Amino acid sequence: MVAALLFGACQSVAPPEPSGPQTKATPAFEEPDMAGKENVGEGVTEGEPTLEGVIWHIVEYLGADAALNETVADATITFQGGQVAGNSGCNSFFADYALAGQQLTIAQVGSTLMMCEESIMAQEQAILAALGKVAAYAPKDDGVALLDASGAVVLTLAPQPQASLTGVVWVATTVNSGRQAVVSLLEGTEMTAVFDEEGMLFGSAGCNNYRTSYTLDGDTIALAPIISTRKFCSEPEGVMEQEANYLAALKTVATWSIRGDVLELRDANGALAVSFRASRTPD
């Protein structure tokens, strides 16, 4: 997976418009059609699903072949407070949304601008296009289905399991630079953290390995002084500065929280020190 542009740049993604009026802006969708099964797709069941406040894993999306395809790369979506956000496999996306019962409209979607493998980019384009067609949602199996104005399923979602602090390799996604800014990692670098059951924290800071111990008390965390190896890496440019910022950020950590597969470590004032995403189990 290769980033072609800096993370954080964004664009407005305008999915291809069907001929005639836009379906997501059409108020003609009627909730009674969702209550009947003939318009909401195979496997959709009755009930009042909870859409908001859940981290959803995107299981299937309506592809260019007009069939539901399983995702080839992890994709997530959340709805909270009128803001929808997530990751479509390569890039993060964001938009406003509005709910009226089980009718759902999503405004024009914006996204970051990285490039990934062709199959992932095809998935991403289809997911973003599907979001532009959404007119409602309904329960489906153990999750929910997002539906277009005719009641056809365009996305299926399942709740994402909650990760555990221990037994996971956490890969850093953003780091506090120490200059009142949180920045993404340099392309081609990886920084990790593993919290073991014995109270030890270790990982890679990008060039050197580091180790310390930690103690937990509820959502507070305290780290002992950090020790690390002393290699020098010249590439990519800036990797040693990034490493220094990461280790300095870890020294400020006071609280921790996990939501889905995202771990956030914050300082005593609530400022983000480092964010991570669960990647795999330790070797």
Ranges of each domain in the chain? 10-159, 169-280
Alpha carbon distance 176, 194 (integer Å): 19
**Amino acid at residue number 100:** A
Residue with tokens 């069941």: 45
Q: What is the full per-residue pLDDT of the chain (283 aa) written as tens digits? A: 333 333 333 444 444 443 333 333 333 333 334 343 334 444 444 456 689 988 899 999 999 889 999 999 888 999 999 999 998 988 889 999 999 999 999 999 998 887 888 999 999 999 999 999 999 999 988 899 999 999 999 999 999 877 899 999 999 989 998 887 888 899 899 999 999 999 999 999 999 999 999 999 999 999 999 999 999 999 999 999 999 999 999 999 999 998 778 899 999 999 999 999 888 767 6
Half-sphere exposure for 133 (CA within 13 Å, toward CB): 25
- Domain 169-280 sits in CATH at 2.40.128.270
Structural domain 10-159, CATH architecture: Beta Barrel (2.40)
Q: How far is CA 40 from the centre of its chain?
A: 27
pTM above 0.85, yes or no: no
Which helix H or strand E contains 95, and what residues bound it?
strand 92-100
